[in-house]
Amino acid sequence: MCLDGADSVPAIAATLFCRRNTVLNHLRRLAQLTGRDPRHPADAALLTLALHTADTRSAHVSRAGRASRPVTRGPASTASRRGTR
């Protein structure tokens, strides 16, 4: 688990200007959603690779002239497409 050279939860929290427990909660949630625990080196490497791949693909799509904004679903996005609120 690493964020710009930060190798501990308190260091990551300081870098992100949040509390240690917030970082731990986000790490737990990431583990629940992905089935990979970022506190384990092998899982952290896999998650890092996945994020870099997604970032690279996103950059490639935006350079190709396609919309790079995230897809949203639900009533709010439908209303905004119609120009109404």
Domains in the chain: boundaries: 1-62
Cα-based distances in Å from 21 to 13, 14, 30, 37, 49 = 9, 12, 14, 16, 25
More confident residue, 33 or 4: 33
pLDDT tens-digit profile of 26-37?
999 999 999 999
Position 2 scores a pLDDT of 56
Q: What is the pLDDT of residues 34-69, one digit of tens each?
A: 999 998 999 999 999 998 998 888 876 666 655 555
